[in-house]
Amino acid sequence: MAVDSPLYLDACAAAPPAEAVLAAMVAAYQGAWANPSSLHGFGFAAAERLERSRQAIAAALTVPASWLTFCSGGTEASHAALLGAASQLPRGRLVISAVEHPAVQAAARQLEDQGWELAIWPVDRLGRVDLAWLDRLLEPPTRLVSVLWGQSEVGTLQPIETIGAACRRAGVLFHSDAVQVLGHQPLAIEALPVDLLTFTSHKIQGPRGIGALVASPDLALGAWIGGGGQEAGRRGGTEAVALAAGFAAAIELTQLRLQQAGGRDPLEPERDRLLVALESLAGVTVTGCPVARLPHHLSLVLTSPSGKPLPGRQVVSGFWQRGLAVSSGTACASGRASGSPVLRAMGYAPELAGSGLRLSLGPWLTPSQLKSLPERVSAALLAVQAELG
């Protein structure tokens, strides 16, 4: 069977590094390879490169550079936010949404083991937190809330401004995992009612192995990694200067794309074209919120034309045989026999929760590839339905 050139449609799992990112990292490895804590010229060069990267990222996020703490990625950043904040608070209640990333869930379970009460905020069929629960969930003893901004599996965007404003009124700290939002809309973080935001680099064509926690230096956070007192004493360990340079280059590329497109993700119209093509096919149901949604993201549950749920992992394999790299859900929680916990939390039956498919687009796709995308994806889906149905 002839296969067209492969298309990578799994941006929410990881993105291929951009050429400018690789060039920035090579330059940093060549000219700023020393330990940035060393008190000599080589160390000063590394420290300068690290801080220039921090300033570039912070400027894109519209926060002072002192608010930015480098981490190894989104998982560490979310653990740092929750465990670091909780270490400076009396024990109380932590509230997380029912559709959080596994990293947030893991940090929440650690706090539960330490004596914190854990409350799960229900979501509706579209994956949005039920705001009818807002006031009661913020009542004492709640001290900390974590609700992700953009859900990686179904694409739903949460109303973090509403949630954050309510947390401020209640005197409750608010954390949001913004990993999937970064690079897909302009961010004015200092104006948001959010105390802790977490990001990672490898979703926006930056290097894997670096992320960031954004929090005011005035916010009491316990150090989560001891050692040499790096990162303003919050995270010990020699900083990854080249990774920071790559992160800065990646975020600058995303800002340029947004500016050139008038502040909107230029992938959104292409995603919409693909959505129109797939919605017309039998056995396809779009999941997540149709309006408040990540602009490069599309998610579905699939059945045969007769209504039989199709196993997501087999669908992914069938798509790859036809040159399309897609996902059956969050990469960090794939392979669960009971189906997607996110879809189950949204009210889908276990059989249907195992039939999810996610397609997420990125700027590496050429205009000709984007033009052919609806036809190629539709043809692949029809073929897989015929094989598995």
Q: Is residue 292 within 8 Å of 148, Cβ to Cβ?
A: no
* CA separation for the pair 315, 177 (Å, rounded): 29
Given 12, 167, 289, 332, which residue is catalytic? 332
DSSP code of residue 335 = T
Amino acid present at 107: A
Grouping H, G, I as helix, E, B as strand and the rest as coil, residue 299 is strand
**Cα radius of gyration rounded to whole Å, the chain:** 21
How far is CA 84 from each of CA 174, 229, 290, rounded to the nearest angstrom?
13, 15, 35
Question: Is the torsion defined by CA of 332, 335, 336, 339 positive or negative?
Answer: positive
For this structure, is 332 an active site residue? yes
Region of 171 on the Ramachandran plot (φ > 0 left; ψ -120 to 50 alpha; else beta): left
What is the rounded distance in angstroms from the CA atom of residue 244 to the CA atom of residue 54? 7
Instruction: Name the phi and psi angles at 234, rounded to 5.
Output: -85, -30
| Tokens of residue 71, six digits | 């981490």
3-class SS of residue 347: coil
Strand partners, 145: 95, 174
**In angstroms, how far is CA 186 from the centroid of its own chain?**
15
CB-CB contact of 175 with 82 (8 Å): yes
Measured between alpha carbons, how far is residue 224 from residues 102, 221, 263, 350 in Å? 19, 9, 36, 37
Q: CA-to-CA distance for 76 and 179, rounded, in angstroms? A: 12
Q: The tokens of 363 are what?
A: 């700027």
Residue carrying the six token digits 């002192």: 66
CA 113/CA 16 separation, integer angstroms: 38
For the beta carbon of residue 153, count every other beta carbon within 10 angstroms. 27
What's the token pair of residue 55? 């300033």
Cα torsion for 83, 87, 88, 92, to the nearest 10°? 90
CB atoms within 10 A of CB 35: 16
Residues carrying an active site annotation: 332
